[in-house]
Chain A
């Protein structure tokens, strides 16, 4: 069927900010959808609050609404834009939920908008547990057996019928509390009694346990002609019980025979048909009992997902792009396979390599968090690796994680319950002694029983301790196939260690097993460069193979490569002038989608300059690893070895290292030492910015102040240094990202505690001690330069004061409270800094303003996290310009010679993962904790702030009760806030101290009991929904505190909780604005037509008018 002509305008719902469970993959799918639909001549209207996405770039859609992804906003957008259809399957669970809500509110019906891809009924059927269960039963599919129980007796009866072990799941509890696995009647009685108590409906589900079963996923696509194809099968390394997002996963499925695989394929096809996903992709999860092959269906996602992004990258088959085309009526056989060009998309990709995805965790960021992996996803990102064998892909995956691991251990980072195997000798000693250590064996076995991020490494230690595959299997239920493959790596490691050197055959085998030069250097007690040289001498170099969807059956045209150690590369590099862009690797806190955005922009820029672009990255979620983005994609780890290999193969004219965040920047020096030309700002300038002494001199030379600071290598040095600079001080290890282990110490006691517990100071890893500027305003500045001229992209004023990580604070552009003098001083100093560093490309500077005085906190000679935000705020693609500058153009040639001053406010708010970590204290600190960001835009600052809060799922209430509890020093500052609240008609309640203070100031305030003062107390208020906003500035920090519990409760019950006075002040402005003006929306295309003075309303410029406006 050809594409539909009855629809012209399509609304796409984005997924909003990056949160745990919703990463860059929806920027990838959304961007693909936008591109695909526009290619077909449809007008695309997009709603997404995340400015760091490529999809929200103004040229990706006709109309881009960077507004909160809520049903309310959706209605406003629909009202203005009148789309014919809405594609709800590209924006993850957020997009789907909003579409459901909008449907249930009758919004789509009211404006005659058709849901394409998946309709309401199908979404409901897939999402509702009971409806899903019935649907599966109807088509004869097995599910875990389950019964509801309302008493312990009923629970016991159900369990007897199902057979132990069973899982008890109380209905309607928060965060899955009260659930548990029971192996016998006694445990069941205890757990179900508790569960019944927890459950608001006094109901528990007794379910057959499939823990430890093998877990599989199938990526399925269907078209309007009911053609169904399987794009990819995925087998999980971690068995059932660990969220698939937290599991190591492998494609394709490894341990299914054809009979079992086809059964799963048949089931998948039956599921997508029964659920009724009309067109597009779905993901279906199965569990298989390893003992007897029994297969049960677990769930299905009627939309593109994290797994579909992974499947797309794993196979080269662009699921989201094709899903968009199917949604407008094409059939699979009418779409051609981009990669082979002449075969159709109606086929099932086959791969001739192994793909391994490994999740990236950030537990170290959250004090007191339970790091056991469970069905609640906790990872913040992932890396994918491709190899010809599982062993190769697994080791490549581990070194892609950016955790300073260079493979499956053997890199000096092995740590067995605190025993550090950081030298060759220690590792050898461990190998010799471990087999006799019975206690260690027991300890390892019980460790392996619990899934944790570090578990794979303990499998290695288990093998060294002489435990058998069978014992490890029994403890972990990780399939023997995976275990035996790991064992082969371990055995080869032992051999390499023993020999201490390797002849050709052994070295080649090691490389084929995925060992890095760094690991080999460790085994041979030499340096990485030496191993590299040895390999070169022996002629052991990687070859580059193609990802081509067809296992080489057809010639492939889309160049998407991975390295492996075999005989022949699939292509000969071109002789074109080319530029290599190093991406940012897996998402983690401190380094996320923002850098991917910059890299993608650079790829577009170089393409426009007709340079061949080569992208190197390891993050499967991203747009940068879409083979469409660059001329060539290398899906490789971003380590020196892997990057040098590609450089030696491709000989690019230069490498871009300043757009992918800290990961590529860290390689700058080593790359240059290896003779690799670095584009943009020079390595020596980067060094000045990173070297403490050189940096100090630079600041002095331009008379820019810096908080007084010192360096310490021991506790003693730290104490004297702190005395010298004066308390409070900011302490942190040198060379960190995202404020890792950064803290503010107010006195010697807390400093000592930090030195003892948080860091290990040493000669190579000193601790930095800076004077902490109290009550200072923090400012972020992004600048672009071409080595001669420098233009400020924007000055962003933070809402929270200095001391809170810049990645965690809200900020506003333009500044909302800074004086003209300060702004001028900041501009002047920033440009001077840039001139001194000869910035070619981007630079970010952070300042603290205290009593009108400007202090420089840090300079990053690279693209910063705020570049996409500021680009969208000013309507100029800074990273694209930066790339063009690196390609040889000047600011003048780019037409970017002056600062841009838009007429609207843009507020960036950070988004936190606290809801996934129940019990963790949510207060902000120098340690970055946010995973994503949103943007609120409006002509009015208050409204922009309101939108940013709404978009961050922290919608400020229009009325109701506000709970206020602040520390003493904040009391005078909170007074105006409280007064405003009262004046606006909000009811105030407070704990004793704050209440007394506010009453004294003659404000009407009710007193509420603290947690330990009896009942009903503040907890009851939160739980009963009688509190609508919490303002609580922390007196202390830590999960054990009373106030921390209140904050954590607020998160669980989704009550907005403001933890700074500044945040509260802005919230008041926001609440005033929303009450006066009400919510309105406007696309960024309209905002940036501000030069035209008036904003044409879209309803008056349908059709041609629209096009005209876009051209302007």
Chain B
């Protein structure tokens, strides 16, 4: 195996052995604490521009298969792990992780003290970095890293959004559907998904919950979207700095009030910006499948799947038409909100999981009810009425509001 070097912008040098493709790649180095689900992570377009390290040391154990993908190819710039499995052991596996990465020219490095790296990122924040199997001189690599672009200010959505509009009708694999997640036999609604790098499981979940899904490019205008007369609009997850995606913010602002909107992750941040709030970069982000989030309405805790480096500033929404609905119990950051007047809501985390727990599946039901009620009231000639599902008089007690 070939030696590989990882160099961070602050001079940290790590050495390992390459197990994927060879070459040199740049990206923001981030860690993910999920113990399973590396294939979903690799193929999540939100990781565009990032080099991902897994805190769990043993990776590749179950290989890769064609179903557990969140997009058509791995999206990360590089993958850093402690140990690659010597074998693939799973009945669904079709190839090994290293073959998969090689096939898509992704750099993988094993033998890294990933805990050291993680601790470093935790203490000093996410860092630009480089992986190289070509240049093994730390000094020259450091120079190159410093010349690479910062994550803040980068619009990476354009790199991952679909080339053209399409409809999506793949459903969840019934083998892995718990009875409560079975396909809902419902009157279907047509929604438009603005693709900023959408994860397939969001689409599968939307299908499963009774939506007919049309996916459009991120740059599609509000007018164009409204021309297809959708019952609802979905704002997807995606990579990069939300503040750099001004066109998405504009589109969203123009859609609000006209149609029910549900946003996840980047979609949530875009919504925050559209509502007049600010976003900021978290020190090292939230990436994992174990973050506790409280639904302020029910006071119940759900274990969530997370992947974000930016966050909507709670304070910046203070005087806006927004109500907090979810909060992260670890660091008290904003995890969910809704518009006070319009049928608009969003969450920062990933209710579609993949990888991660299924605790937040109910949000898709909320969206369905919201769309359904909106359609109903529109038909009865009362458009623009507020979100129906969240009320029921259960406003969060102020004591539980995060400070």
Using a CB–CB distance below 8 Å, which chain A residues touch chain B? 139-140, 225-227, 229, 252-263, 265-267, 270, 290-293, 331-333, 343-344, 346-354, 388-390, 469, 479-481, 483-485, 487-488, 545, 550-555, 566-568, 570
Contact = CB atoms under 8 A, between A and B. Distances in A.
Contact of A267 (B61, B85, B178): B178
B113 interface: yes
B36 A484 contact: no
The 5 closest A-B pairs by CB, nearest first: A258-B37, A484-B87, A551-B55, A258-B355, A481-B89
Report the interface size class on chain B. 35 or more
11 contacts: A140-B179, A261-B36, A291-B91, A293-B91, A343-B330, A350-B55, A350-B56, A550-B33, A553-B33, A567-B116, A570-B115
Given A227-B301, A566-B115, A352 B55 contact: yes
Contacts of B180: 266
A255 B292 contact: no
Contacts of A483: 87
A170 B43 CA distance: 51
Interface string B76-97: 0000001101110111100000
User: Taking chain A's interface residues, is the majority helix, strand, or loop, or is none over half, making it mixed?
Assistant: loop
B300 A552 contact: no
Nearest to B173: A259
Contacts of B36: 252-253, 256-258, 261
Given A350-B56, A480-B87, 20 more contacts: A258-B40, A258-B354, A258-B355, A260-B90, A262-B357, A265-B357, A293-B92, A347-B292, A348-B289, A351-B35, A351-B56, A354-B58, A389-B58, A469-B87, A481-B61, A481-B89, A483-B87, A485-B86, A553-B288, A566-B113
Interface of B: 14, 31, 33-37, 39-40, 55-58, 61-62, 65, 67-68, 82-83, 85-87, 89-92, 113-116, 118-119, 122, 173, 175-176, 178-180, 288-292, 294, 299-301, 303, 329-330, 353-358
B307 to A, nearest CB: 13
Contacts of A261: 36-37
Contacts of A263: 176, 178
A553 B178 contact: no
Contacts of A333: 292, 294, 301, 329
Contacts of B357: 262, 265, 348
Contacts of A227: 300-301
Contact of B62 (A257, A267, A351): A257
A614 to B, nearest CB: 21
A551 B90 contact: no
Contacts of A552: 31, 55, 115, 118-119, 122
A347 B303 contact: yes
User: Taking chain B's interface residues, is the majority helix, strand, or loop, or is none over half, making it mixed?
Assistant: loop
Nearest to B286: A553
Contacts of B33: 350, 352, 550-551, 553
A488 B87 CA distance: 11
A487 B86 contact: yes
B82 A388 contact: yes
Given A257-B39, A262-B353, A262-B356, A389 B86 contact: no
B358 A554 contact: no
B55 A258 contact: no
Given A258-B36, A346-B301, A347-B291, A567 B89 contact: no
A928 to B, nearest CB: 40
B303 A554 contact: no
Given A257-B36, A263-B178, A265-B357, A389 B122 contact: no
A270 B181 CA distance: 13
Nearest to B178: A266
A479 B88 CA distance: 10
A553 B173 CA distance: 32
Given A346-B301, A347-B292, A390 B58 contact: yes
A56 B61 CA distance: 45
A351 B36 CA distance: 11
Contacts of B356: 258, 262
A225 B68 contact: no
A348 B175 CA distance: 24
A503 to B, nearest CB: 16
A140 B61 CA distance: 29
B87 A481 contact: yes
Contacts of B114: 352
B278 to A, nearest CB: 25
A250 to B, nearest CB: 10
Contacts of B39: 257-258
Contacts of A260: 90, 176
A262 B37 CA distance: 10
Contact of B86 (A139, A265, A484): A484
Contacts of B87: 469, 480-481, 483-485
Contacts of B288: 350, 551, 553
Contacts of A351: 35, 56
A541 to B, nearest CB: 14
A258 B290 CA distance: 13
Contact of B122 (A262, A293, A554, A567): A554
A388 B113 CA distance: 9
A389 B110 CA distance: 12
A354 B86 CA distance: 16
Nearest to B328: A343
Nearest to B354: A258
A620 to B, nearest CB: 19
Contact of A570 (B85, B119, B290, B294): B119
Contacts of A225: 299-301
Given A266-B358, A291-B91, A348-B290, A568 B113 contact: yes
Which of A259, A260, A331, A344 is the most central at the interface, judged by chain B CB atoms within 10 Å of its CB? A259
Contacts of A353: 57
Given A263-B176, A552-B55, A389 B329 contact: no
Contacts of A270: 178
Nearest to B284: A553
Which of B34, B113, B356 is the most central at the interface, judged by chain A CB atoms within 10 Å of its CB? B113
Given A352-B55, A388-B82, A255 B178 contact: no
A563 to B, nearest CB: 13
Contacts of A348: 289-290, 303, 357
Given A140-B179, A343-B329, A347-B292, A553 B122 contact: yes
A389 B114 CA distance: 12
A255 B62 contact: yes
A1040 B34 CA distance: 56
Nearest to B64: A257
Nearest to B111: A512
A230 to B, nearest CB: 8
A1029 B40 CA distance: 65
Contacts of A485: 86-87
B5 to A, nearest CB: 14
B91 A262 contact: no
Which of A487, A545, A553 is the most central at the interface, judged by chain B CB atoms within 10 Å of its CB? A553
A349 B33 CA distance: 10
Contacts of A255: 61-62, 89-90
B301 A332 contact: yes
A545 B115 contact: yes
A352 B118 contact: yes
B324 to A, nearest CB: 16
A257 B90 contact: yes
A290 B62 CA distance: 12
A272 B34 CA distance: 23
Contacts of A139: 179
A310 B62 CA distance: 25
B175 A293 contact: yes
Nearest to A288: B91
A488 B301 CA distance: 43
Contacts of B40: 258
A254 B61 contact: yes
Contacts of B179: 139-140
B86 A567 contact: no
